[in-house]
Chain A
Amino acid sequence: MIQLIIAHNTFREATRDRVLAGVLVCGLVMMLATQLMTPLAMGESFRLTMDLGLTTISMLGMLVILMVGTNLVGKELEKRTIYNLLSRPIPRWAYLVGKWAGLSAALWAVAALLGLALFAIMAAGGLGAHPVAVAQSVYLAGLELTVMTAIAVLFSAFSTPVLSALYTMALYAVGQWSYDLRAFAENFPPALGGTLQAIANLVPNLPVFNMRTLAAEGMPTGVEHLGVATLYALVYVAGVLALATAVFESRDFK
């Protein structure tokens, strides 16, 4: 499996990069810092810690995607390391899948480590650990980051790193509001409303990966939710990577 070899190298590159270490330290500091605010939380310490902890995981994961993911292919083109790969018997789709899988694995590792830290902080702080809610939330956050990594790879396959970061950020923002966009579309005449609906269906449906409100109550979500979110992420990632391959297939490397 050539994709796994490329994924392993991408994972190794990401984990040896200072960005990832910095993000981990930053995440730990932020989670510990929430404990300083708990006296002001007026009995909502658990909710505050859980909510901020999970938000930290998502936000820092996105930061890694913007700093590393949007540069994933661009950096290889700029440094011409791509010559060493694509001059070997590697289909271009396998290269893109490998890059996506490698960075996704690194992000899953970050999310898991920060999730463990969140669990430990809450347990040590006597807030009640709720391991199932934490694990499910981290799993969904990981799925969200996996989808956003695929989008970053898509933009990185044909655009500059700066533009890729802007496009990825824009899709992330729109994706967070995809439910509202659908509701908003209903206020317009059919032609414009239909277009808005189509856009809302094309952008990633990120709220499906968000169970922070539930987790902040210490409640787990259902298996159906996890199943639907997993299936949606798989289908969406496959579609985005297929599009990235179509763009990348005819590209010449200067």
Chain B
Amino acid sequence: MQGSIIPMSLRAAAGPESTVLASGGDGPAVRTVGLGKHYRHPWTLRVTRGLEDLNLEVMRGEVFGYLGPNGAGKTTTLKLLCGLHRPSAGNAWLLGVPIHDEASRRRIGFLPEHPYFYDHLNGVEYLEFAARLSGLHAADARRRARHWMERVGLAGQEGRTLRKYSKGMLQRIGLAAALVHDPELLILDEPMSGLDPFGRRDVRDLILEQKARGVTVLFSSHILPDVEMICDRVAILLGGRLNRVATVGEIVASGAQTIEIRCTGVGVIALPPAWQGVLDRREHAHETVFVLADDSRTSEILQWLTGHGVQVRAVTPQRPTLEELFMQAAAGGSFAAPRLAEDRP
């Protein structure tokens, strides 16, 4: 079962069980105010700060990426929201209900990183159990469990105990368990972790499909191309502190733009010494690529190149990818000055 998480036939539309949620709603789906988590070592009493003063708003119906290097506090935040950790400071609300109230978890679906399951149960039993824990009645839970088994491509595996499932199958059953009760808010911790490209595509499709239903999706990920593809906004967490909240486009646009000129026929042409530091020359097998640090002298350089018999094949402005920007920031550089939830577009 290495193929799709969601069969093609089922991808196109939401299932018969699914109801399209009203878009919008009252207030943000997730709101945190000064949320913090500190850990005190039981013997040394040394305090480790896992998360500091998190002020964040995730609006209803959006797909929100939560990014940061290992140890940045992503999983801590998600565990705090789901009631698995108790906050040391601040408060948070899920769909308007404070997280210290169990009712805040009634309309959420959570997929932990590396999900673990009860080995003694089979797939249907597990989904039925998950649905009942989220408040569904027995008959409804049974019906939805069978529906979601089929929906995530596990039809025919109903009687097989979870200990015999492969990693990909477990990830699918975890997603099904998070969705079995039709939540309004989906919290996914590294949902693409350990999946092959097909599995990642299917998770992406599933997230977008839930967004189309009006579900809010908050997920953490290390796989930035996926984040870039599906997120409306992202938050970047560094060292337990929120560094920035913005759209992917805004973040990428804030990176320095370079100009790439691809040409042939350059041969042994020597560039004017004045351009040293402005122009980076890279020789490839069939072409030469000039990279300009900015576009202020593009016209001048193009004129000079064509005047010296060079055939210009392409002039392309280049933006750094989210991944490149993220790596720069995590390595000690920084995105623009921290902007918190208030600067949501």
Contacts and interface: CB of A to CB of B under 8 A. Distances in A.
Contacts of B132: 5
B84 interface: yes
A5 B86 CA distance: 25
A5 B85 contact: no
Contacts of A86: 82-84
Contacts of A5: 129, 132-133
B130 interface: yes
Contacts of B148: none
Given A12-B120, A17-B120, A89-B134, A84 B115 contact: yes
Given A5-B129, A9-B129, A81 B102 contact: no
Interface string B247-269: 00000000000000000000000
Interface in A1-45: 2, 5-6, 9, 12-13, 16-17
B135 interface: yes
A81 B115 CA distance: 8
A162 to B, nearest CB: 18
Contacts of A81: 116-118
Contact of A253 (B84, B102, B120, B135): B84
Interface in A209-254: 250-253
B102 A90 contact: yes
Contacts of A13: 118, 120
A85 interface: yes
Contacts of B177: 84
Contacts of B103: 89
Contacts of B39: 252
Contacts of B129: 5, 9
Contact of B133 (A79, A88, A251): A88
A17 B119 CA distance: 10
A207 interface: no
Nearest to B106: A89
Contact of B134 (A83, A88, A251): A88
Interface string B92-134: 0000000000111110101010111110110001000110111
Contacts of B83: 86-87
A73 to B, nearest CB: 14
Nearest to B117: A81
B319 interface: no
Interface in B30-88: 39, 79, 82-86
A128 interface: no
Given A87-B84, A89-B106, A90-B133, A253 B116 contact: no
Contacts of A252: 39, 79, 84-86
Contacts of A87: 82-84, 105, 108, 110, 112
Given A5-B129, A88-B105, A88-B133, A83 B117 contact: no
B133 A91 contact: no
Contacts of A85: 133
B255 to A, nearest CB: 36
Nearest to B84: A253
Contacts of A83: 82, 84, 110, 112, 115-116
A82 B129 CA distance: 13
B239 to A, nearest CB: 20
A17 B116 CA distance: 18
Contacts of B82: 83, 86-87
Contacts of B85: 252-253
Interface in B191-216: none
A91 B102 CA distance: 6
Contacts of A82: 84
Contacts of A91: 102
A252 B86 CA distance: 6
A79 B102 contact: no
A194 B241 CA distance: 54
Contact of B117 (A12, A84, A89, A253): A84
Contacts of A88: 105, 110, 130, 133-134
B185 to A, nearest CB: 12
A89 B112 contact: no
Q: Which of A12, A82, A84, A252 has the most CB of B within 10 A?
A: A84
Given A83-B112, A89-B135, A90-B105, 20 more contacts: A2-B133, A5-B129, A6-B133, A12-B125, A13-B120, A79-B116, A81-B116, A83-B82, A84-B112, A84-B115, A84-B117, A84-B130, A85-B133, A87-B108, A88-B130, A88-B134, A89-B105, A91-B102, A252-B39, A252-B79
15 contacts: A5-B132, A9-B129, A13-B120, A80-B116, A83-B112, A84-B116, A86-B84, A87-B82, A87-B84, A87-B110, A88-B133, A89-B105, A250-B86, A252-B84, A253-B85
Interface of A: 2, 5-6, 9, 12-13, 16-17, 79-91, 250-253
- Closest 4 CB pairs between A and B? A87-B82, A87-B110, A80-B116, A89-B106
